[in-house]
Amino acid sequence: MVLTGRERDERMEPIVIVENLMKSYKKRKTKEVIHAVKDVSFTVNRGEILGLLGPNGAGKTTTIKMICGLLTPDSGLITINGLNNQKKRLASLRQISAVLEGNRNLYWRLTVRENLEYFAGNRGESRKDIAERVDDLLQKFHLKGKENELVNRLSRGMQQKLAIAVAMLADSEVILLDEPTLGLDVETGYEVRELLREIVKTYNRTIIISTHDMDVVQDLCERTVIINKGQIVTDDKVANLLRLFDVRSYKVTLGGLLSDRQQELLEQKFPSYGYSPDTFQSILEVDLEQSEEIYELFDILKIETTPVESIDRKTINFEQIFMKIVKGDMSDVLVQSS
Amino acid sequence: MYWFNLLKANTKKEYLELKRYLPNTLALVLTFYIIFLGMFFGIQIIGDPTTQDINIQFAIVNYIFWFLAMMVINNIGWQITNEAMRGTLEQLCMSPMGLWKIMLSRLIASTVINFILIIALLYLSMFTSGQWLNVDVLAIKPIFVLTIISMFGLGFIIAGISIILKQVQAFLQILQFILAGLTFVPLSVAPMLAFFPFVKGVDLVRDVMIDGVTLSQIAAVDFMILAFNAVFYFIGGLLFFFFCERVAMNKGLLAHY
């Protein structure tokens, strides 16, 4: 897809602005104050798919609830398409729709079409006005033919697709999806991902995805915001993060053991190196700060002319990156990158 | 137009759910009828024969209003509890129409649908007992509308409590008996109850249906009390609901999620 200059500018325009968000709770029994969200700020650009990630209890759900207008922040500001979601809550809710609990967001004793019509009616739209859009969505989401089926008779994948279709029908600029592929088989998960990609492409919607499925993030999201202990630890493009972590990790397979001298030098030069000794085939794992350091690694190996069987650049997936970020292993790297 | 579409959507949903949960609906109607039969035969067997007719008429009107009060007031509490359990409550809370408008349209929708049921039950009760009440639509209509408005106010209070507490089943069970007390106790016994929601209305409907009072015979002060109750409870209930909604939003209780 080739974007014109204006389209590119529009895409860069932030549609969701979260500024200095704070929220704390008091534990009922101990009265202990829990700071669920501490000074969280980020933006989401128009037409972007943003991954909002974090381990359980990181403050992700609290942030989502505040963006959706379901929870009032202690302080801070959320603007959705130019509307302050606290001062103009109802108007801002026209700009956002969400699937927060997947198939549980539907009425199981109503049919597919009835669900679509009911939720549209709840936003004040008439059946007549949405008829065309309903048909279009049924077609797009492969639910045509199932429209008169009760939701409780649908497969989980279809229910999930319907929940997303309901959010789409709202015609809002921003769609927030919490765990859109949770509990889906590989094929349906793939289908949902393709659908989301198409939503962004065809309808130019902005999507915020909160998920624990890192494949979804790697596959779909352009950018990711990672929250841990109530604070943002990373806000960067997925491709940047992959590149950043990818170039520095090498796995060297050796045809023998390293000498004490070599290990000493490795300790000095690459303190975080990993070594699995084996008489016939040892494995050496090294993280390099600069790619030129590979020559220094070769120098160390050359001292004893240790046979090198192979050198592999370790392919790191997003799940590993996420774990490293959340554990705080790579804070130095992230500081450098920012 | 937004309002009308909202009301239409919720009326259709109420109707569809009543239809889809047909055994439930039938059980409800049957239970109502069986309890009525119990009361009817109870009055006939152990009641004073000289006041038997009037007692049966009294029982029919009170029982019908109790059923209506339960359907309107209790039902909204059950609905919120169910929506929270199903996981659909947060979708309602995210409607740009505002949760209170959805709740109001639900109250109106369930009143309209249950009203049809109640009319059928009223005639079934009259047919069974052989006691034909004076159904003066002209007189009953304004009383009924004002009474229902105060019931809506009480419905908003229950909805507000349900949003915060969610698990209000036990409270709703108790509320049934409070509502029974309010509908069954005549104003002549406790005149101050006139300022309680819907008590004055039930009393006036009793006057029309049992004693044959006409619209012109009803004192202006009675209508003023009715109107005052309607405005007071509706606005009070709505304000209480807004307060509960704000508390829920601060504490993160607005959704099961």
Q: What is the pLDDT of residues B11-29, one digit of tens each?
A: 999 999 888 888 988 898 8
Q: Give the model's pLDDT for residue A335.
A: 45
Question: From the list B5, B16, B255, which residue is nearest A125 (CB)?
Answer: B5
Q: Give the model's pLDDT for residue A336.
A: 44
Q: Give the model's pLDDT for residue A2.
A: 43
Q: Give the model's pLDDT for residue A1.
A: 42
Q: What is the mean pLDDT of residues B34-39?
A: 85
Q: Judge: A61–B257 Cβ closer than 8 Å, yes or no.
A: yes
Q: Judge: B96–A70 Cβ closer than 8 Å, yes or no.
A: no
Q: Judge: B1–A110 Cβ closer than 8 Å, yes or no.
A: no
DSSP string, B8-57: HHHHHHHHHHHHHTHHHHHHHHHHHHHHHHHHHHHHHHHS-GGGHHHHHH
User: Of A148-157, A189-198, A324-333, B63-72, where does mean pLDDT reach its minimum?
Assistant: A324-333
ipTM over 0.90: no
**Is pLDDT of A250 > 90?**
no
Q: Judge: B252–A71 Cβ closer than 8 Å, yes or no.
A: yes
Give chain A positions within 8 Å (CB) of B16: 109-110, 114
Q: Give the model's pLDDT for residue A134.
A: 92
Q: What is the mean pLDDT of residues A208-213?
A: 89
A113 near B CB under 8 A: no
Give chain B positions within 8 Å (CB) of A109: 16-17, 20-21
Q: Give the model's pLDDT for residue A277.
A: 93
Instruction: Name the residue in chain A with its Cα closest to that of B13.
Output: A118
Using CA atoms, how far apart are residues B138 and B96, in angstroms rounded to an integer?
38
Residue B227 lies in a domain: yes
Q: What is the pLDDT of residues A276-294, one digit of tens each?
A: 999 889 999 988 877 788 8
Instruction: Name the residue in chain B with its Cα closest to that of A106.
Output: B88
**pLDDT confidence of A218, banded at 50, 70, 90?**
confident
Q: Judge: A90–B254 Cβ closer than 8 Å, yes or no.
A: no
Q: Give the model's pLDDT for residue B256.
A: 58
> What percent of chain A clears pLDDT 90, i.e. is strictly above it?
47
The label of the residue with tokens 């009107």 reads B61
**pLDDT confidence of B189, banded at 50, 70, 90?**
confident
Using CA atoms, how far apart are residues A235 and B145, in angstroms rounded to an integer?
57
Q: Judge: A104–B246 Cβ closer than 8 Å, yes or no.
A: no
Q: Judge: B97–A123 Cβ closer than 8 Å, yes or no.
A: yes
Residue B256 lies in a domain: no
Q: Give the model's pLDDT for residue A162.
A: 93
**A124 neighbors B3 (Cβ within 8 angstroms):** yes
Q: What is the pLDDT of residues A8-46, one digit of tens each?
A: 455 578 999 999 999 998 887 788 888 999 999 999 999
The kind and range of the H/E element at A253 are strand A249-254
The label of the residue with tokens 């659909």 reads B88
A61 near B CB under 8 A: yes
Q: What is the mean pLDDT of residues A130-142?
A: 90
Q: What is the pLDDT of residues B78-97, one digit of tens each?
A: 888 888 888 899 899 999 99
- Structurally, how many domains does chain B consist of? 1
Q: Which of residues 74-93 of B touch A (CB under 8 A)?
A: 86-88, 90-93
Closest CA–CA distance from residue B88 to any residue of chain A (Å): 5
Q: What is the pLDDT of residues B106-165, one digit of tens each?
A: 999 999 988 888 888 888 888 888 888 888 888 899 999 999 999 999 999 999 999 998
Mutation target vs A (from B21, B95, B104; most A CBs, 10 A cutoff): B95
Name which of A81, A73, A14 is nearest A48 in CA terms: A14
A153 near B CB under 8 A: no
Phi, psi for residue B186 in degrees, rounded to 5 = -75, 150
Q: Which domain holds residue B182?
A: 2-250
Question: From the list B3, B21, B97, which residue is nearest A109 (CB)?
Answer: B21
**H-helix segments, chain B:** 2-20, 22-46, 52-69, 75-86, 89-93, 99-129, 137-165, 169-184, 199-211, 220-251
Question: From the list A105, A109, A124, which residue is nearest B2 (CB)?
Answer: A124
Q: Judge: B255–A110 Cβ closer than 8 Å, yes or no.
A: no
Residue B255 lies in a domain: no
Using CA atoms, how far apart are residues B170 and B124, in angstroms rounded to an integer?
31
Q: Give the model's pLDDT for residue B257.
A: 44
Q: What is the pLDDT of residues A138-184, one digit of tens each?
A: 998 889 999 999 999 999 889 999 999 999 898 899 999 988 888 78
Q: What is the pLDDT of residues A76-116, one digit of tens each?
A: 999 999 999 999 999 999 999 999 877 788 999 999 999 99
- The residue with greater pLDDT, A57 or B148, is B148
> What percent of chain B clears pLDDT 70, i.e. is strictly above it?
99
Residue B257 lies in a domain: no
Using CA atoms, how far apart are residues A52 and A50, in angstroms rounded to an integer?
6
**A50 neighbors A205 (Cβ within 8 angstroms):** no
B96 near A CB under 8 A: yes
A215 near B CB under 8 A: no
**pLDDT confidence of B49, banded at 50, 70, 90?**
confident
Q: Give the model's pLDDT for residue B255.
A: 65
Rounded to the nearest integer, the mean pLDDT of chain A is 86
- The residue with greater pLDDT, B224 or A4, is B224
Q: Judge: A108–B98 Cβ closer than 8 Å, yes or no.
A: no
**B29 neighbors B117 (Cβ within 8 angstroms):** yes
Q: Judge: A105–B88 Cβ closer than 8 Å, yes or no.
A: yes
